[in-house]
């Protein structure tokens, strides 16, 4: 997608906020643990290479991504730190991962057998066995199958390096700890079933690192906390350290017009002005990831909350203004204006989703602009 640099809509990324979030997380680690920065999905919309650079400067020692291509992108950019892909890759790409020293998960013994056919043995493939303790996503579900896979890797040590074992908690961000403790117990059983404990044993996502200590994990997979977002939304408000939101979103008016009562706005004429009103047009829409269902939400103009009226279009939306403003007046969608603030959480709650989705939906058409830059040194 072409980046739209010749319009005022843009995402601002506060590098100092990312740096501070990672620094606090690293300081909160115990002596035996390391922090791997989760920078999948273009670092939750914040920029893969930008966040990789800042996270390393702040003390991260490895990375987690979702797909092999993200890992290859880091290697091509010159990053030599450990990288773990969190999603299952196709077995025919096992040799490609091994050549680039990229660790991958395995959830079935059959996958190992298929992958072995593509592995030359010149460099063994680093493998982290995924175990399903209650997430229901990927992972071994029986001790016997896990042992069989571990035995297979041990018997084919020229092809496989069983580097780690991990699981993912489904409710670490919830006040109710019942399932969390059940999953922790099950994970410990899986680890005990292994003939040899691998180098990395890890369960801790951001929520686990903030509110739990479990399973003697020696990697924290620090994800949404990097970006200053509370993984529980508003359910658990207290965190061991302040999380600083790194993303803001802004645009500017392209037009402001005075319309009489009875004027229809946008597709479907779903909004009709009840009285003479000032209507402003903002050059952003659902093609930029500002979702169509945001109709009726508000933005900030000069400290005023201005309702989004009419349906959000692909490339534009309209707002009701308190009075006339000139074209070029700043419009804040996420961030602060005149003492008021709109957060990703606010937008997510209105849209009936989570802040992760709002951040990830912001499309590549929106330029990402760094502020408060952190140097590499």
Catalytic residue among 117, 177, 267, 336: 267
Secondary structure of the chain: what % helix, strand, coil (to 5)? 30, 25, 45
CA 45 – CA 359 distance, rounded (Å)? 6
Phi, psi of 69 (to 5 degrees): -65, -35
DSSP 4: -
Residue 18 · residue 44 · CB < 8 Å: no
Cα–Cα nearest to 44, from 34, 52, 35: 52
Three-state DSSP class for residue 193: helix
Q: Quote the tokens at residue 254.
A: 């392209």
CA 60 – CA 313 distance, rounded (Å)? 40
Three-state DSSP class for residue 98: helix
Whether residue 137 is annotated as binding a ligand: the answer is: yes
CA 87 – CA 274 distance, rounded (Å)? 52
Cα–Cα nearest to 290, from 350, 242, 240, 361: 361
Please state the length of the chain: 377
Whether residue 314 is annotated as binding a ligand: the answer is: yes
H or E element in which residue 335 lies: strand 330-337
Cα–Cα nearest to 273, from 262, 284, 285: 262
> Residue 44: exposed, middle, or buried by beta-carbon count in 10 A (0-12, 13-18, 19+)?
buried
Active site residue 44: no
Cα–Cα nearest to 318, from 359, 275, 269: 269
Active site residue 267: yes
Q: What is the DSSP string of 364-376?
A: TTSPEEEES----
CA 82 – CA 63 distance, rounded (Å)? 6
- Strand order in 125-130's β-sheet? 104-106, 125-130, 160-166, 200-202
CA 70 – CA 300 distance, rounded (Å)? 35
**Which residues does the annotation place in the binding site?**
137, 314
Question: Residue ranges for the binding site for substrate?
Answer: 137, 314
What residues act catalytically? 40, 267
């Amino acid at each position: 997608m072409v980046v739209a640099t010749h319009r005022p809509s843009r995402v601002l990324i506060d590098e100092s906020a990312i740096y501070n979030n990672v620094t606090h997380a690293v300081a909160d680690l115990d002596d035996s643990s390391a922090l791997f920065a989760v920078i999948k999905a273009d670092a939750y919309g914040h920029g893969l290479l930008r966040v990789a650079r800042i996270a390393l400067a702040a003390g991260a020692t490895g990375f987690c991504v979702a797909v092999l291509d993200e890992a290859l992108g880091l290697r091509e950019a010159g990053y030599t730190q450990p990288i773990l892909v969190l999603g299952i890759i196709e077995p025919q790409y096992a040799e490609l991962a091994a050549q680039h020293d990229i660790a991958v998960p395995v959830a079935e013994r059959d996958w190992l057998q298929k992958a072995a056919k593509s592995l030359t043995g010149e460099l063994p493939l680093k493998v982290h066995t995924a175990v399903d303790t209650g997430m229901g996503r990927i992972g071994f579900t029986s001790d016997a199958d896990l042992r069989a896979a571990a035995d297979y890797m041990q018997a084919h040590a020229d092809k496989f390096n069983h580097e780690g074992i991990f699981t993912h908690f489904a409710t670490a961000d919830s006040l109710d700890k019942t399932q969390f403790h059940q999953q922790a117990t099950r994970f410990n059983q899986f680890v005990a079933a292994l003939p040899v404990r691998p180098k990395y044993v890890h369960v801790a996502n951001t929520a686990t690192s903030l509110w739990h200590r479990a399973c003697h994990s020696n990697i924290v997979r620090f994800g949404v906390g990097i970006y200053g977002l509370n993984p529980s939304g508003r359910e658990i408000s207290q965190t061991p350290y302040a999380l600083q939101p790194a993303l803001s979103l802004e645009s500017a008016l392209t037009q402001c017009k005075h319309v009489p009562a009875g004027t229809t706005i946008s597709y479907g004429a779903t909004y009709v002005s009840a009285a003479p009103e000032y209507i402003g047009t903002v050059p952003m829409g659902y093609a930029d990831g500002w979702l169509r269902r945001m109709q009726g939400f508000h933005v900030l103009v000069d400290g005023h909350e201005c309702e989004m009226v009419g349906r959000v279009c692909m490339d534009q939306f309209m707002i009701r203004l308190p009075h006339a403003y000139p074209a070029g007046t700043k419009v804040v969608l996420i961030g602060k204006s005149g003492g008021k603030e709109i957060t990703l959480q606010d937008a997510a709650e209105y849209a009936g989703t989570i802040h992760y989705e709002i951040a990830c939906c912001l499309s590549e058409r929106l330029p990402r602009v760094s502020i408060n830059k952190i140097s590499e040194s």
